[in-house]
A and B are shown apart, each in its own frame.
Chain A
Amino acid sequence: MAHPLRAAAGITGIGETPVGELPGSSALSLMEDAALAALDDAGLAVADLDGLVTSRSMVAPLHRAAVILAERLGMTPELFATLEAGGATSLQMLNYALTAIGAGRARHLLCVAGDNLLTGLSRDLAVQAMAENADAEFEVPFGTFPPAAYALAARAHMHAYGTTAEQLAEVAVAARAWAALNPAAQMRQPLDLAQVLAAKRVAEPLGLNDCALVSDGGGAFVVSEPSAAAALARPPIWILGAAEAAGHEYITRAPDLTSFASALAGRRAFAMAGCRPDEVDLAQIYDCFSITPIITLEDLGFCGKGEGGAFIEGGRTGPGGDFPMNSHGGLLSHAHPGKPGGIFHLTEAVRQLRGDAGRRQVAGAELAVVTGVGGMFSAHATAILGAAR
């Protein structure tokens, strides 16, 4: 029997702000801009919404961000939630909206994330953000920060399975090749394997190009109940599967450094959608560091454990390759505004499934997988989106 929430809602609108360095922007201004763009794309007005879901800002102390945004937009929402799962928040917002709509609590919900991490993050806030990702008493004093935690996983993967620095570099090179085709991307100048390998190391084995950008930017999407979606101008992109899984919070506690709760989130999402990884046309895989997609693709079952490096080799995830991945350029080359980072993986998947991706269009894209990771491989979410129900 099909899962009761399979295709119980669809994405009817997407919106994005510019990304990169946006002087004068704030988390709230970026969320407002993205929200209105998504509503415009859906052909809806604020008055049509039953509620909204937001993520937190790392820059602005927006407690109850959803309430603040509702006030700004002039709405009195029945449902309002501010979620926190780091880079998995965008897909957690999607899952929240799907669940609420599937339960009959709403017809249209708006999901919004935005932050000005590049222009707004002072040194104090940056240190605080670092501390948010590690235990303040048992990890931070040793000088850990996100690149170091992901480097621990990368080295463990290299040691256990023979994954190479060249394979890690391929992830960054493919992301840049896609970004070169995306006028909206923050980093578009050419990048080759030799440059990635020669770049300064941040935390060995990870170098500068193995690490996500720091950006300002925001995104939003509208999730709609099927009959409400049918009244709109464009067909929705269906949410066929959406699932989450939380493992450890701190990298010291990770039971395994080469496989994470992404395996559970992935298995749950594919089971709900009733499809297999080999049926997917486009993979939008969270790429905070180059090691992340390699491990995630294994955990999701695209290849066996330890085969992720070989799986992405030979440019096959880049433009023209037979396994298109992160066609907007990813966190590595499009943008990474922090907690909202993963929202662009989702909006790009919708764009591709609508056939609207222009020069980046993946021919015949009908089924996409999107993943998000929060913390140090800690919180995971996976969504399966389809052009058809």
Chain B
Amino acid sequence: MTAGGEVFWDGCAVGEFRLLRCDGCGQVDHMGPSRCRRCHGAELTWIAAEGGGTVASFTIVRRAPSAGLREWVPYGLALIDLDEGTRVMARLAGEPEDWRIGGRVRLCFIAAGEAPGDFAGDRLPAFAPETGEAACGS
């Protein structure tokens, strides 16, 4: 795993969705770049996302992409525009009828089983519609 990936997944284990903020220009980014993609500065600081965001798009995966995910389909997969200003990929939680593009969502963590990459463990980031009660379920 890359250094960025390790810090991110360590964060998930303690309930944080970690992002990188550039010390130089303040740009917030995801996916562990080693330099800021806007100003190319190398000084980046990890921050924890506040947890709010908006659904940019989503899909419901019904055919498992790998054997390890077969028992988990169907599941919601989304691109979320976080309030910090960066887009991230994550699972959706809550009721599928509440999932919609433009809908407000909030971070939670779900048990995902054996996800590809096998380092997600049982703390996979997901986003649930803010309208949903106890959205992340059991």
* B124 CB contact (under 8 Å) in A130, A141, A153, A205: A141
* A203 CB contact (under 8 Å) in B61, B79, B117: B61
Q: Are B77 and A155 in contact (CB under 8 A)?
A: no
Q: Are A142 and B59 in contact (CB under 8 A)?
A: no
Q: What residue in chain A is nearest B119 (Cβ atoms)?
A: A141
Q: Are B89 and A252 in contact (CB under 8 A)?
A: yes
Q: How far is the CB of A165 from chain B (nearest CB, A)?
A: 13
B8 cross-chain contacts in A, Cβ below 8 A = 137-138
Known pairs A135-B31, A137-B1, A252-B31; A147 contacts B63 (CB<8 A): yes
What is the size, in residues, of chain A's interface with B at 8 Å between Cβ atoms?
36
A201 cross-chain contacts in B, Cβ below 8 A = 60, 62-63
Distance of A137 Cα from B72 Cα, bound (Å): 19
Interface secondary structure of B, over-half rule? mixed
Distance of A365 Cα from B120 Cα, bound (Å): 53
Q: Are B5 and A138 in contact (CB under 8 A)?
A: yes
Q: Are B115 and A138 in contact (CB under 8 A)?
A: no
Known pairs A137-B2, A152-B79, A257-B57; A144 contacts B63 (CB<8 A): no
- A127 lies within 8 A of chain B by Cβ: yes
Q: Are A203 and B62 in contact (CB under 8 A)?
A: yes
Q: Are B4 and A203 in contact (CB under 8 A)?
A: no
Known pairs A152-B57, A257-B56; A143 contacts B116 (CB<8 A): yes
B62 cross-chain contacts in A, Cβ below 8 A = 200-204
Q: How far is the CB of B40 from chain A (nearest CB, A)?
A: 16
Known pairs A127-B66, A142-B89, A144-B77; A137 contacts B57 (CB<8 A): no
A152 cross-chain contacts in B, Cβ below 8 A = 57-59, 77-79
Q: How far is the CB of A98 from chain B (nearest CB, A)?
A: 32
Distance of A137 Cα from B8 Cα, bound (Å): 9
Q: Are A141 and B120 in contact (CB under 8 A)?
A: yes
Q: How far is the CB of A288 from chain B (nearest CB, A)?
A: 15
Q: What residue in chain A is nearest B101 (Cβ atoms)?
A: A159
Q: What residue in chain B is nearest A154 (Cβ atoms)?
A: B59
Q: Are B79 and A250 in contact (CB under 8 A)?
A: no
Q: Are A252 and B79 in contact (CB under 8 A)?
A: yes
A200 cross-chain contacts in B, Cβ below 8 A = 62-63
- Among B57, B75, B78, B88, residue most surrounded by chain A Cβ atoms (within 10 Å): B57
**B residues within 8 Å of A by Cβ?**
1-2, 4-5, 8-9, 30-32, 56-67, 69, 72, 75, 77-79, 87-91, 101-102, 112, 115-117, 119-120, 124
CB<8 Å pairs between A and B, sample of 30:
A123-B67, A130-B65, A130-B66, A130-B116, A136-B117, A137-B1, A137-B2, A137-B5, A137-B8, A137-B117, A138-B5, A138-B88, A138-B89, A141-B117, A141-B119, A143-B64, A143-B65, A143-B72, A145-B65, A148-B59, A148-B61, A151-B59, A152-B78, A153-B57, A155-B57, A200-B63, A206-B59, A251-B89, A252-B31, A252-B88
